């Protein structure tokens, strides 16, 4: 049953507890909380190395109230596939009578770059796992190095004059594998996001969610702006909210009037060097316009 209101989600039990060390305003904490509310207690979480892992599992504490496995940077999807097979075998042999949700939470570095081949293998085999990439657009845990998901123009410690390439299209890669379900998500649109997680875990095959996660430290913004930035990413067209199911792509949140990309960029220190550079702004605006045309968003209104 889809969630009808935010309250339907909020009242659900928490399986990600608040006693963790993630930064104030960290979008990953909000993603983890919502994911855990939706997937519930009969779930196994597979988490590759990254901010979410180091900040929620410091011995002897853990923020996870369900079985959780920390895996190496490159093999989250492969471990999930193994766990899925083990459960399938136990259920088939009637040694277990209850199914579990096998859910990966992995960063953009762990997904777009180093874990991509394991993910491709799981998608190709059709393994029944849900893979959620929380995308803070850099290798944040090790000190803000660029990843394949870093957006054009963004400063990181390894793109000091601004990233020269556009974000890797992870959704396109998932869809090219003909996964059962793929969707983008935003913490500013919780109902949309929660319903996408619910759909993802109900699939009889691989599902993928690409979730934008503002990072106060790496993007250089005031922690109170996390949700506002998440919303602006959608409103500018830089982060269209859509889903892929049964061979078709569908926009799930319409944006009749788009905000100019500058509205989003100017709130983040990582773009400070380009907000007065017309050429760079035109490039980023054109990229948003391209996405808007592809997904059917409205025109920019100043
Ligand atoms: C094979 C390997 N290379 C490098 C590292 C060091 N390392 C640990 S976490 C991390 C960055 C993770 O980036 P991402 O997946 O985007 O997650 P985030 O920290 O941004 O949440 C790196 C480079 C590692 N653990 N293993
Ligand atoms: Mg990252």
Question: What CATH code would you report for 6-295?
Answer: 3.40.50.970
Mean pLDDT throughout 25-39? Answer: 98
How many C-alpha atoms does 237 have within 13 Å on its Cβ side?
A: 26
Angle between helices 27-39 and 226-236 (to 10 degrees): 80
User: Are the C-beta atoms of residues 111 and 170 closer than 8 Å to each other?
Assistant: yes
Question: Which residues, 6+ apart, have CB-to-CB distance to 127 below 8 Å?
Answer: 80, 81, 84, 85, 205, 206
**Does 150 contact ligand 1 (Cβ within 6 A)?**
no
pLDDT band with cut points at 50, 70 and 90 for residue 58 = very high
**For residue 72, what pLDDT is reported?**
93
Note the maximum CA span of the chain.
65
User: Are the C-beta atoms of residues 77 and 121 closer than 8 Å to each other?
Assistant: yes
51: CA distance to ligand 2 center in Å? 8
Distance CA 48, CA 27 (A): 17
Structure tokens at 123: 């998608």
Q: 121-169, pLDDT tens digit by residue?
A: 999 999 999 999 999 999 999 999 999 999 999 999 999 999 999 999 9
13 DSSP 8-state letter? P
**Does 140 contact ligand 1 (Cβ within 6 A)?**
yes
Average pLDDT, the chain: 97
DSSP letter for each residue of 64-105: BSS-EEEE-TT-HHHHHHHHHHHHHHHHHTTS-----EEEEE
pLDDT band with cut points at 50, 70 and 90 for residue 98 = very high
The dihedral region occupied by 246, where left means phi > 0, alpha psi between -120 and 50, and beta the remainder, is: left
pLDDT band with cut points at 50, 70 and 90 for residue 46 = very high
Mean pLDDT throughout 49-77? Answer: 96
Structure tokens at 163: 């990233």
Question: Is residue 293 scored above 80 in pLDDT?
Answer: yes
Mean pLDDT throughout 222-235? Answer: 98
271 DSSP 8-state letter? G
Specify the ligand 1 atom closest to the Cα of 50: 19
Q: 257-283, pLDDT tens digit by residue?
A: 999 999 999 999 999 999 999 999 999
Question: Is residue 302 scored above 90 in pLDDT?
Answer: no
Question: Is residue 67 scored above 90 in pLDDT?
Answer: yes
Mean pLDDT throughout 70-89? Answer: 97
51: CA distance to ligand 1 center in Å? 8
70: CA distance to ligand 1 center in Å? 12
Distance CA 2, CA 13 (A): 17
User: Are the C-beta atoms of residues 77 and 131 closer than 8 Å to each other?
Assistant: yes
276: CA distance to ligand 2 center in Å? 27
Q: Is the peptide bond before 45 cis (omega within 30 degrees of 0)?
A: no
**For residue 19, what pLDDT is reported?**
87
* Boundaries of every domain in the chain: 6-295
Residue bearing the CA closest to ligand 1, atom 4: 73
Instruction: Tell which one of 48, 139, 145, 146 to mutate to probe ligand 1, the residue whose CB is within 8 A of the most ligand atoms.
Output: 139
**Among the residues of 93-215, which ranges form H helices?**
108, 116-125, 170-176, 190-201
Q: 206-218, pLDDT tens digit by residue?
A: 999 999 999 999 9
Specify the ligand 1 atom closest to the Cα of 28: 21
Structure tokens at 166: 């556009």
**Does 52 contact ligand 1 (Cβ within 6 A)?**
yes
Structure tokens at 200: 């993802």
**For residue 276, what pLDDT is reported?**
96
CB atoms within 10 A of CB 175: 16
210 DSSP 8-state letter? E
**For residue 1, what pLDDT is reported?**
77
Mean pLDDT throughout 171-181? Answer: 98
């Amino acid at each position: 049953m889809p969630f009808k209101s935010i309250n339907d989600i909020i009242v659900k039990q928490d399986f990600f507890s608040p006693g963790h060390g993630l930064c104030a305003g960290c979008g990953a904490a909000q993603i983890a909380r919502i994911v855990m509310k939706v997937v519930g207690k009969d779930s196994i979480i597979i988490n590759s190395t990254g901010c979410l892992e180091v900040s929620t599992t410091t011995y002897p504490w853990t923020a996870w109230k369900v079985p959780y496995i920390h895996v190496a940077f490159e093999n989250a999807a492969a471990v999930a596939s193994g766990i899925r097979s083990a459960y399938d075998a136990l259920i088939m042999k009637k040694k277990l009578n209850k199914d579990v949700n096998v859910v990966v939470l992995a960063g953009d570095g762990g997904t777009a770059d180093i874990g991509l081949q394991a993910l491709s293998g799981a998608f190709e085999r059709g393994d029944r796992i849900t893979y959620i990439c929380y995308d803070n657009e850099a290798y944040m845990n090790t000190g803000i190095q660029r990843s394949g998901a870093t957006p054009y123009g963004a400063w990181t410690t390894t793109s000091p004059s601004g990233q020269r390439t556009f974000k890797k299209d992870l959704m396109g890669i998932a869809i090219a594998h003909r996964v059962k379900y793929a969707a983008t998500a935003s913490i500013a649109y919780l109902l949309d996001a929660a319903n996408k997680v619910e759909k993802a875990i109900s699939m009889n095959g691989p599902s993928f969610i690409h979730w934008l996660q503002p990072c106060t430290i790496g993007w250089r913004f005031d922690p109170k702006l996390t949700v506002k930035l998440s919303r602006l990413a959608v409103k500018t067209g830089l982060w269209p909210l859509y889903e892929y199911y049964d061979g078709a792509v569908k926009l799930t949140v319409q944006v009749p009037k788009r905000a100019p990309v500058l509205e989003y960029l100017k709130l983040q220190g990582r773009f400070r060097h380009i907000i007065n550079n017309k050429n760079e702004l035109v490039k980023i605006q054109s990229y948003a316009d391209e996405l808007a045309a592809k997904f059917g968003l409205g025109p920019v209104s100043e």
